[in-house]
Structure 1
Amino acid sequence: MTPMAAPPPPRPGLRDLLRTFVRWVRTLPPVIVWAGAAVAVAGVAAIAFAGYTAYDYTMNNPAFCRSCHIMEAAWTRWSTSEHRNVDCHACHEQSIVESARQVITFVVRRPERVGRHAEVPSERCAVCHESGDARWRQVAATAGHQVHAERQRIECVVCHSRSVHRIQPSTQICAECHQAQATGVRAVKIRQMAEFHCVDCHQFLRLDSPLRPTRQTCLQCHQSLPPKRTVGFPAGAAHTTLPCGTCHKPHEQARPIVACTTCHSPKPEIHAAVLAAQTPCTTCHQPHRWTVK
Structure 2
Amino acid sequence: MSKKILMICLVSVGVVLGAYIYTKEMMFRNPENCKVCHFMTPFYKKWEASTHNRVDCLKCHVYTPLNAASGQLRLLVGGSYNSRPRTIVSDKNCLQSGCHDRRLIESKAISTKRGIEFNHMPHFTEIKRGIKLHCRSCHSDIVQGEHMKVSMNVCFLCHFKGVSPDQSATGCPSCHIAPKQPIVVKGKTFSHDEAMKAGYKCNQCHTEVTRGDGIAPKEKCYFCHVEKTEMYEDVRSMHLNHVTKNQLDCLWCHPRIEHGKIRIFEKSQ
Which structure is higher in helix share? 1
Q: TM-score, normalised by structure 1?
A: 0.44
Q: Larger strand proportion, structure 1 or 2?
A: 2
Rg comparison, structure with higher value: 1
Give the structure-2-normalised TM-score.
0.48
